[in-house]
Amino acid sequence: MDPADVTGTAADSTDPLRALAAVSALRRLADQLENHQVEQALRQGHNWPEIAQALGVTRQAVHKKHARRIAPDLRERSPR
């Protein structure tokens, strides 16, 4: 399903179960996008505190969530 279609379906209250499934799909997509952008930020030299600030969370929270999901060559960077 196209992301625009999913967004419209998630906002449609005529079929709540279908809308909830769309919300779940959006959550998965947002999680994948976040992980990708965290990895890109690290590759471009940004540190965990900068990434955390951009996400509005603590550096510990972002490191805990993403350290195991990112490429192995980036995992060794310690949170600052």
Contact 29, 9 (CB under 8 A): no
What would the pLDDT profile of 5-21 be if each residue is shown by its tens digit? Answer: 888 899 988 999 999 99
Tokens describing residue 27: 């959550």
Average model confidence (pLDDT) for the chain?
A: 89
Confidence bin at 79 (pLDDT 50/70/90): very low
Give residue-wise pLDDT tens across range 54-71. 999 999 999 999 989 888
**CA angle 74–78–71, rounded 5-degree value:** 15
